[in-house]
Amino acid sequence: MNKEISIIGAGLAGCEAALYLAHRGWKVQLFEMRPEKQTPAHSTELPAELVCSNSLKSLRLDTASGLLKAELETLGCELLPLAKEALVPAGQALAVDREVFSQKVLHALQDCPGINLITQEITELPDSLCILASGPLTSDKLMADLMRKLGEEQLYFFDAIAPIVEASSLDYSKVYSKDRYDKGEPDYLNCPFSKEEYYSFVDALISAEKHEAHEFENQFFSAVKFSFYENCIPIEEIARRGVDSLRHGVMKPMGLEDPRTGRKPWAVLQLRTENKLCSSFNLVGCQTMLRYPEQKRVFRMIPGLENAEFHRFGSIHRNSYLNSPEVLNPDLSLKALPHVYIAGQLSGVEGYVESIGCGLLAARNLDLRYLNLQKGGTASARTALPPETIIGQLWRHLTSPSEGKFQPMNANFGILPVLDNPPRDKKQKKEMYSSRSLESLKSWLDANKL
Ligand SMILES: Cc1cc2nc3c(=O)[nH]c(=O)nc-3n(C[C@H](O)[C@H](O)[C@H](O)COP(=O)(O)OP(=O)(O)OC[C@H]3O[C@@H](n4cnc5c(N)ncnc54)[C@H](O)[C@@H]3O)c2cc1C
């Protein structure tokens, strides 16, 4: 084994793995097909493009996503510090200016002498050591090769993404900035609905014309089932579940009284800034399958958005992932092809930070495997991260037998082992999960130094 590797895909997982390995003396050939060939969701030629939301979620240690970030930084994550340099105001969340973030990643790759970034679509898995990080929108030819080599354990389904509107087209006599319960900076804009406005909006959502999923099926995938992943359900599907489901979920008005009148709206739709200049806003939770003219009509019913100019409409996209518990070894290499490591969303983690984390894990495993062999050990590296950690549990999710159909997993406290003496206070309980995790991770790192 020498320290040379190909990485397929300069997305979140691929860039994380490339930087991690190159900084440890590896020679990396990083293949990215864009801009020669685009995916249905990417729109730039830049690495680590965030295709939908610009938020990498919370930084707080009483949230699972905040804990995951702290764990990854403890493990030497490369991309999170770059994301922090591209921060835009969003309360306690790590929201970034996506262009600035991708440019920072590009410069980091270019400044690293061990990395050769090559524009090329890879259509077959190579015979030499590689990390496959081609993401949920892996090109068809490569997906076909993967399916040929692994069988039919891959699944195929659709995601929906949210629209973005121009800030100057909003009606500021109606929208107001406020953070829920005034907990942090008032970084969100809020669109308050009266009872009548809300039910008209729900009616319009349900009855609007939408894209039918079968338009996006092609012959190759026709044998593979698709379904919506619970965490990315189009807003019209949520509305269809019950007239009040939105105002009890993403549009809940609690803690969002209008500061100008003190009145509590019937429902609130929040807008999150897309860039440092706050020149455009994302309609939080409005991922959708509605046709574009219908989106314009229905979303302009939102108070304050009557004249909204749309920078991007919501849309639906393919999302592919492997049946990882069946096909992966504990070190994230393929059982059938042990020289191929899988990283990112393709492995069945779900989310930006989770994909970064999976890229980091694959790279760490490879580096450990190399160091182990150098010391005369076996090719299997010590991969079992502490069970008290979110990243450890995500790894277990990918590599342990799955009960029922394997589903993607994101960071949440529910995947951690229960606390011995949990306090009643929910916030305190989450903080205890976090401190337990970070302590166990540090002890594990000390005990496992090679
Ligand atoms: C439409 C959509 C919206 C999403 N929205 C969110 C969101 O808002 N928040 C969130 O947390 N997660 C979201 N996700 C899920 C997931 O977090 C992102 O897809 C994330 O970018 C996955 O990271 P990755 O590194 O695995 O893949 P990617 O970031 O997609 O990177 C894969 C790279 O591989 C390249 N590639 C593909 N095939 C080839 C090939 N054959 N040869 C060479 N290069 C290739 C692609 O061009 C791409 O640059 C979304 C996913 C989709 C599909």
- For ligand 1, what atom is nearest to the CA of residue 38? 47
Of residues 39, 274, 251, the one with CA closest to residue 164: 274
pLDDT tens digits, 120-129 = 999 999 999 9
Q: Could you tell me how far CA 141 lies from the centroid of its own chain?
A: 24
Tell me, which fold does domain 4-154+322-447 have in CATH? FAD/NAD(P)-binding domain (3.50.50)
DSSP string, 11-57: SHHHHHHHHHHHTTT-EEEEEE-TTTS--SS--SS-TT---S-SEEE
**182 phi, psi to nearest 5 deg:** 50, 40
- For ligand 1, what atom is nearest to the CA of residue 49? 29
Instruction: Give the lowest-confidence range in 196-210, 231-245, 375-389.
Output: 375-389
- For ligand 1, what atom is nearest to the CA of residue 315? 1
Per DSSP bridges, beta strands 115-119 and 27-32 are: parallel
% the chain with pLDDT above 90: 65
Bigger pLDDT: 278 vs 95:
95
pLDDT tens digits, 291-316 = 999 999 999 999 999 999 988 888 76
pLDDT tens digits, 61-90 = 999 999 999 999 999 999 999 999 999 988
How far CA 172 is from CA of 91, 167, 264, 308, 370, in Å, comes to 20, 10, 18, 12, 58
Q: 212 CA to middle of ligand 1, Å?
A: 23
What are the structure tokens assigned to 316, written together? 């639906």
Q: 407 CA to middle of ligand 1, Å?
A: 17
- For ligand 1, what atom is nearest to the CA of residue 410? 11
pLDDT tens digits, 318-370 = 678 899 999 999 999 999 999 999 999 999 998 999 999 999 999 999 999 88
Q: 223 CA to middle of ligand 1, Å?
A: 23
- Mutating to test ligand 1, I would choose from 32, 56, 146 the residue with most ligand atoms within 8 A of its C-beta, which is 32
**372 phi, psi to nearest 5 deg:** -60, -45
What are the structure tokens assigned to 381, written together? 């590296």
Neighbours of 250 (CB within 10 A): 18
Per DSSP bridges, beta strands 176-177 and 164-166 are: unpaired
Quote the pLDDT of residue 316: 65
Q: At CA 259, angle to CA 254 and CA 264, rounded to 5? A: 35
Quote the pLDDT of residue 152: 66
Pair 174, 303: CB distance under 8 Å? yes
How far CA 91 is from CA of 70, 84, 95, 255, in Å, comes to 18, 13, 9, 15
Q: Where are the domains of the chain?
A: 4-154+322-447, 160-317
Residue 202's H or E segment, with its range, is helix 195-207
What strands lie across the sheet with 55-58, from one edge to the other? Answer: 55-58, 93-96, 87-88
Q: 33 CA to middle of ligand 1, Å?
A: 12
Quote the pLDDT of residue 379: 64
- For ligand 1, what atom is nearest to the CA of residue 39? 47
Residue 141 CA to residue 32 CA, distance in Å, equals 14
* CB-defined site of ligand 1, < 6 Å: 8-14, 31-34, 39, 41-42, 51-53, 121-122, 133-139, 142, 159, 161, 317, 319, 344-346, 351-352, 355
Q: 95 CA to middle of ligand 1, Å?
A: 17
Q: 136 CA to middle of ligand 1, Å?
A: 5
Q: Could you tell me how far CA 109 lies from the centroid of its own chain?
A: 21
Pair 304, 174: CB distance under 8 Å? yes
Q: 331 CA to middle of ligand 1, Å?
A: 22
Within 13 Å, how many C-alpha atoms sit on residue 297's CB side?
15
Instruction: Give the lowest-confidence range in 44-58, 152-166, 187-201, 320-334.
Output: 152-166
Residue 319's H or E segment, with its range, is strand 315-321
Q: Could you tell me how far CA 396 lies from the centroid of its own chain?
A: 18
Q: Quote the DSSP letter at residue 300.
A: T
**66 phi, psi to nearest 5 deg:** -65, -40
| 376 CB burial (10 A radius; 0-12, 13-18, 19+) | exposed
pLDDT tens digits, 427-443 = 899 999 999 999 999 99
Q: Quote the DSSP letter at residue 290.
A: B
Mean of the per-residue pLDDT values for the chain?
A: 89
Quote the pLDDT of residue 157: 53
| 309 CB burial (10 A radius; 0-12, 13-18, 19+) | middle
Q: 85 CA to middle of ligand 1, Å?
A: 21
Residue 235 CA to residue 286 CA, distance in Å, equals 5
Architecture of domain 160-317: Beta Barrel (2.40)
Pair 165, 281: CB distance under 8 Å? yes
Atom 3 in ligand 1: residue holding the nearest Cα? 52
Quote the pLDDT of residue 31: 98
Q: How many residues does the chain have?
A: 450
Quote the pLDDT of residue 155: 57
Quote the pLDDT of residue 215: 42
| pLDDT average, residue stretch 225-237 | 64
Atom 27 in ligand 1: residue holding the nearest Cα? 135
Per DSSP bridges, beta strands 340-342 and 130-132 are: parallel
**315 phi, psi to nearest 5 deg:** -155, 175
Residue 196 pLDDT greater than 60, yes or no? yes
DSSP string, 358-398: HHHHHHHHHHHHHHHHHTT--S-------TTSHHHHHHHHH
Of residues 219, 287, 225, 281, the one with CA closest to residue 250: 287
Pair 178, 186: CB distance under 8 Å? yes
Residue 17 CA to residue 367 CA, distance in Å, equals 10
